[in-house]
Structure 1
Amino acid sequence: MTVMLCNYLSYLWKLMLALAAVLLGVNIYRDYILDIRADSLLRWLFFVLLFGSIIVRFVDERTARKEPV
């Protein structure tokens, strides 16, 4: 189970980073183009996705170093 999960970590952090980038674009669009303040939930979700993707990337690099190819 753990080996199978480690295979998908590289995809997971890239997906989280892409979602954070999309969410940042939505926040900027709502804030500057539409003059609607973004909800605090959207702002927190951006930071959760951004820092979560960084954490998953470091875990992915550590597991890649420990496992022989």
Structure 2
Amino acid sequence: MHAAGVNPAGWEARANGWGRAVPHILGFDMTGVVEAVGFGATRYRPGDELFGMPEFPRPTPPAGGCLRRVSLVR
């Protein structure tokens, strides 16, 4: 993970929890480099740079969590 951002969706999730158990790792924006891919993955390769909002605006976990050191992106 190179960077993660805090946006209004994160503020709202922090304020009302969005029905998640606490603690919950926030963060919906991320950028980084692919370290590894799973068997059969064809879209990305290790070393690819990417950015995005993983599984947003999915209302249930595991949405968010980009403020952790490493993220799993499907």
Q: Which bin holds the TM-score, normalised by the shorter protein?
A: under 0.3
- The structure with the largest helix share of the pair is 1
- The structure with the largest strand share of the pair is 2
Which of structures 1 and 2 has the larger relative contact order (alpha carbons within 8 angstroms, sep 6+)?
1
